[in-house]
Every structure is written in structure tokens, then in C-alpha cells.
Amino acid sequence: MPKVTKKTLNCRGRLVDLTTPVVMGILNVTPDSFFKNSRVSSDRTVEIAEKMLADGATFLDIGGYSTRPGAPEVSPAEEADRVLPAIEAIIDSFPSALISIDTFRASVGRQAVEAGAALINDVAGGTLDPTMFETIADLGVPYVLMHLRGTPQTMQSLATYQNLVTEVIDELGLRLVELRSMGVKDVILDPGFGFAKTPAQNFFLLSQLSALHVFDEPLLVGLSRKTTIWKTLNVSADEALNGTTVLNTVALQKGASILRVHDVREAVEAIKLTQQLTFF
């Protein structure tokens, strides 16, 4: 399997070891996320978080803004009103939980970190909020730098590339250099499966995932129940767990360090089994 040089993240003073890949569980406090079973009502946030932690999640990713294609705009105030109570409730029940805030807005990210979040997962890679990078540098938290073109509303019209892998690497690389120049130490790269990419492009990018190790940074892969899987299999998102596990296994074999998923137990099992291959 490909080797990644950087193997730890400093999350609120706690070192997270990525020598063995880990799982990030998705909790969407939104009414319109593409996979309806990932939508968590306020009264079930702690219950779902408890199950994910028990199933082996290292991170819990809280999102209050749906980034599915065509999703409606949500104001920063409404987004914060959705995510902050969820973060506070989880931290109150599980003080050692490592929470990721899924947002492209620096103001929401800052409020979330102040409420207890340990890292910021930005689907826009800093392209939709010019203050995001300076906020990350100021907060000193790990940052998921994802590849995206356009906005969640326009991204599907921008999936034109001369050389997909090279352009993703170049665009992430420019942002990574900027972050490094600002003193940001812990960066996780996400190639942005499904974001300004067609299903065919997603499969090709996954097949070439190892190329992103040129940066020697941990890779996060988020393929869970996405259109690429269920349209290819001619099923629904509800029936896409098996397909998700198959592609997660491929991602692990190509060096993914973090799997961002709706179904934690199955992803943890994929990691445990795939790790056995390293002994041969």
C-alpha cells in the first residue's frame, strides 16, 4: 500500500495517529441532505453520536449546510444555529469526542471550534470565503482542504478538465502552499469526489488516488452513498452501502487515511480487513 509521510494530527492537544486509517462519521443537522438517513434531528444528535463512537468513529463530522447539487442557500446565522447546539450536546455527553465542523464559512468554523470542534472540514478548500485560511492559521486546528470548482449550486457545470488528476493536484497544491506560508501545520487533502466531477471522473480519480501522495499529506476520501455509486449500480442511495464499502476498500488500498462515511461500523471493518494485507 502507498505510504504517507505524515501520520499524526494535533487535535486540541491530542495526537491522532493515522498509521492505521480512521473513520469520520457524518451527522447532518440539515433537512435536505442527499441521503435522508444521515439527517439527524436535534433530539437524536447525542444518540447517533454515541452509536458512531461505539462503532469506532475517530471523528464526528457535523454539517448544517447541504452541499448536494442544487441545494438551496442557507445563511451563516442559520447554519450556525443548526450546528452549534449539536456540537455542544455531543461535547457535553462525550467530552473526548473529536468533532469536525463541515463548513466553508470561516465565521461558522470559528464559532464551532469555540464550542468544542477539533478540526474544520471545508468543501470549498478556501475558495468561497477569503478569510478561511487566516482563520485556520489563527485557530491552529487541522484543516481538510477539499478540491471544488464553483459553488454547490454551480459545480456540476464546471466538470471539464484537460487532465483531471494533474489539475486537481495543481489546484490543491496552490492552496496548500498558501496554507503553509501562513504557518498551518496539519492539513488533510480531499480530492472532492462528486464535487465538480462526473461519475466517470470520480472513478478515474479514485484509480489514480495514489498520485496525491506527492504532497505527503493524509488523504480523506468521501464516497459514501454518493451518486457515482448508486447511479452506476442502478439502485438508490439507501441501497448503496455495499457499493460504498467496495470503493472505500479501493481507497484504502491506495492510501486513504480517513474514510468519511454514513455507516461507521462497515467502514471500520473494511479498515480492519484491509490492514491484514500489509502483513504480506
CATH number at residue 240: 3.20.20.20
Is pLDDT above 60 for 231? Answer: yes
Give long-range contacts, CB 8 A cutoff, 24+ apart: 266-269.
266/241, 267/23, 268/23, 268/55, 268/56, 268/57
pLDDT of residue 43: 72
DSSP-assigned letter for residue 126: T
**pLDDT tens-digit series, residues 156-192:** 777 789 999 999 999 999 999 999 999 999 999 999 9
Q: Do the domain assignments include residue 3?
A: no
Q: Do the domain assignments include residue 81?
A: yes
SS3 247: helix
Task: Note if 226 is an active site residue.
Answer: yes
**pLDDT tens-digit series, residues 206-222:** 999 999 999 999 999 99
pLDDT of residue 189: 98
**pLDDT tens-digit series, residues 82-96:** 999 999 999 999 999
Q: Do the domain assignments include residue 164?
A: yes
Q: Do the domain assignments include residue 74?
A: yes
The catalytically annotated residue of 36, 260, 265, 272 is 260
Lowest mean pLDDT segment, chosen from 20-24, 70-74, 124-128 = 70-74
Is pLDDT above 70 for 2? Answer: no
Task: Residue 210: give the domain boundaries.
Answer: 8-279
Q: Do the domain assignments include residue 239?
A: yes
Q: Do the domain assignments include residue 1?
A: no
Please give the Cα distance from 192 to 189 (Å, whole number).
9
Q: Do the domain assignments include residue 79?
A: yes
**pLDDT tens-digit series, residues 35-56:** 455 456 567 889 999 999 999 9
Residues 6+ apart with CB under 8 A from 40: 27, 28, 29, 48, 86
Total domains present in the chain: 1
Lowest mean pLDDT segment, chosen from 19-33, 36-50, 132-146 = 36-50
The catalytically annotated residue of 226, 254, 265, 272 is 226
Q: Do the domain assignments include residue 2?
A: no
Please state, in angstroms and as integers, the Cα–Cα distance from residue 13 to each residue in 16, 96, 115, 140, following that order: 9, 11, 16, 10
Please tell me the pTM assigned to this model.
Answer: 0.92
pLDDT of residue 155: 75
